[in-house]
Structure 1
């Protein structure tokens, strides 16, 4: 009688004879004799050690596609894996029967995806594609479907018949159509598996920069300086609403490493910010999410009479559009943050300056729309809160000493203003599911996806 090991060895020999170096199979693998390997030119399939694949399963690596299955993974019956970019399955993953994993799908049939001389065929409009990753220890239950761009986190459990269209965090259970997280079950994560990364860039003025003088003892609870003790400033650090948002996002997505590239500059006009964006992009900067907020200094300098530094509205429009065009080449998502009103400044006509600032904000909104960027309008929320604190937009004056205010000095934000910006930006990103969207890879036409997601074997 022929053993399972003998049958698998004979099958592996046949696979190698047919596909040569396009397939690599590790030691101790157990493959049913009807497992189908479909490998197009410039495509590969790699199996680690002790991989088990049951009957009726198809592994299809289309031209330029790669399937990588790591050690100790078990794949059930009648499963289909089809890759045009790449599908990666981590160590110890369990995939049950009749699961479908495609890293691509048909594009809609439109005038942009078809030419008039093409015959009517199922593939005439081409395909959109993005890699799929199933991290170590995940379990995919019967008849689940995993779609392009999705990452299934470590130890995640995907329920039967689920359709996974967005990435699922580790140590969670996702059910339904579309699949949503219904439960969390803390478990050990494989330290050898690389953590996901999100890189966030900030380009703007002192509202983003928000430097704070600091010494480590000032925030070390076990070694706080005594009242009256002199402490030397040893560093400047970014704080304000940008710091608060980063802290919030990191605690909300603990399985992701979130890094912040804060290029805010005190006193910057749109000219200065454009230089900063240009330097960052051409210096190789790349961001998953970038924020752009500028305009208040362009106007403030004009009303201060510093005309050589002031930036007129047409130049401002050109500057912000150029910055958005540059960022579009280096960033997956862009958010433009409108400027808040000025609170007070005895040296200028604040009401007139704020009227100008509203016009600049409208230009920023239109530029954001034209570059497919999100726009966050701060004006109404800032004005509402400020008036509740006693401020008047028609006769803007400094608050009575000790009274709360949005502004610390009439232009820069107080702790109340920073917290309000934190709330507004966090709410907008949550309502539009910006971060969740970034965790699922963007889909592109097949040729673009091949360039964007190319990996060496």
Structure 2
């Protein structure tokens, strides 16, 4: 039987690369296809893949390139991986598309201790590129390291995609920006969802426990007015719960793992212990952390619980210690200033309490700046709402007991938090995979590509 040109190319590639290459059936491959696979690397090409002339695929040491089924790759396309690149089923790359999942590291003294003027002396940093099923990249699109392009998304010609793009989106420009969204078709092949891990460390303002009974929330089986129900447990509610719902509603294609470590009555000393214990027991790396405490540090002194009160010096030490720890394994930390006290005592005492609490908030702001964290000051919008609401307002005001918050108070915190996230484009930045030193990137991102590599013998 006479071999077709494509079959001859496939036979040659299999002979050249052996087990480093997994090549599916029914592929259309050009004679001049250039494939380079370094030791420890792997290239998987699915079934019915079409690659046009002049294209190159480089898979550097230890990396993975996984091309799904029914993928079309145009002429003179260049794919180069040091961590990993994944093309989902049915996606299309037009002519002269460039995908590089790595960059040269900056030529700093730390990266080039010998000051050698060699192009690669500073080493490389890498992060995955993932193109989900059904996405289309038009002519001359460039995709940079750490980017994820959602299913069905279409990127216009000559665009530079330097940040992740949601599914069912049209994007264009340099850098690529969203032009519109559309109702995309369901994809038959589902990629692993992007997951962001968000932690909350603070007091009852974050914990916000609420008693529940399933009958209380089942609309078809609500208890009679005046009847009794049994408390079955506690839900965490408040502004943290609302933020969770808001993030999931706005970005349904992203998985959010929310870890609320808020604890009622906690001082900065207690929260510092929670942060340390969490790291020691779970070892979780966070994408985003919210940190807030101080109200109980101040309140305990005015309650005459002096053994539990934390003075400003100790509070500052705890904040700096926590921020030093958290910034070591968290991509973005946000310190939230405490909300003021309501009329929990006589007006003169409350004024003194709030004067003191304001000093703690300022210390938190200073500590945040010193550690590269953001500070969210909620004092002014909170007091403005409290000042303008009538005393007999039907909403109950902003405090439920002049310390803890009502739904309205929680909504103010939610709005201020969402504004900060939007202003700094924090979630958008976190959806990109962070660039890591080459060998670290292979270790950290390896699990994303494990199922696309043959099992170890």
Same topology, TM > 0.5: yes
Of 422, 428, 432, the match for 1:440: 432
Q: SS in structure 2 opposite 1:71?
A: coil
Q: Show the 5 A alignment for 1:46-445.
A: 46-115=44-113, 117-119=115-117, 121-186=118-183, 187-190=185-188, 192-284=190-282, 285-346=284-345, 349-389=349-389, 399=391, 404-445=396-437
Distance 1:368 1:147 in 2: 31
TM-score (norm 1): 0.92
Q: Is the 8 A contact 1:269 1:295 kept in 2?
A: yes
Segments of 4+ in structure 1 off by > 4 A?
Answer: 399-404
Mark the CA change 1:366 to 1:64 in structure 2 (over 3 Å): closer, same or farther: farther
Q: Is the 8 A contact 1:96 1:141 kept in 2?
A: yes
Q: SS in structure 2 opposite 1:345?
A: coil
| Deviation per residue, 1:321-358 (Å, 9 max, x gap) | 22223323433222111111111222782222222212
Distance 1:292 1:176 in 2: 37
Q: Which runs of 5+ in 1 are unaligned?
A: 391-398
Q: Is the 8 A contact 1:22 1:44 kept in 2?
A: yes
Distance 2:441 2:369 in 1: 25
| Deviation per residue, 1:343-388 (Å, 9 max, x gap) | 1222782222222212211221222222222211111211222222
| Deviation per residue, 1:10-63 (Å, 9 max, x gap) | 222322333332222122222101010122233221112221111000001122
Q: Is the 8 A contact 2:22 2:43 kept in 1?
A: yes
Deviates more, 1:192-201 or 1:245-254: 192-201
Q: Is the 8 A contact 2:109 2:115 kept in 1?
A: no
| Deviation per residue, 1:377-412 (Å, 9 max, x gap) | 11121122222236xxxxxxxx45868522121111
Distance 2:113 2:281 in 1: 39
Q: Is the 8 A contact 1:114 1:124 kept in 2?
A: yes
TM-score (norm 2): 0.92
Q: Is the 8 A contact 1:281 1:330 kept in 2?
A: no
State the shift of 1:235 in Å.
Answer: 2.2
Q: Which runs of 5+ in 2 are unaligned?
A: none
State the shift of 1:86 in Å.
Answer: 0.5
Q: Is the 8 A contact 1:389 1:404 kept in 2?
A: no
Deviates more, 1:363-372 or 1:54-63: 363-372
| Deviation per residue, 1:58-89 (Å, 9 max, x gap) | 00112232211111111111000011110011
State the shift of 1:147 in Å.
Answer: 0.7
Distance 1:56 1:400 in 2: 75
Mark the CA change 1:213 to 1:355 in structure 2 (over 3 Å): closer, same or farther: same
Mark the CA change 1:402 to 1:45 in structure 2 (over 3 Å): closer, same or farther: closer
Distance 2:70 2:395 in 1: 65
Distance 1:195 1:189 in 2: 13
Aligned pairs, number: 446
Distance 2:189 2:215 in 1: 32
Q: SS in structure 2 opposite 1:454?
A: helix
Distance 2:252 2:446 in 1: 28
| Deviation per residue, 1:407-448 (Å, 9 max, x gap) | 121111122211110110011011111111111111123233
State the shift of 1:191 in Å.
Answer: 5.8
State the shift of 1:107 in Å.
Answer: 3.2
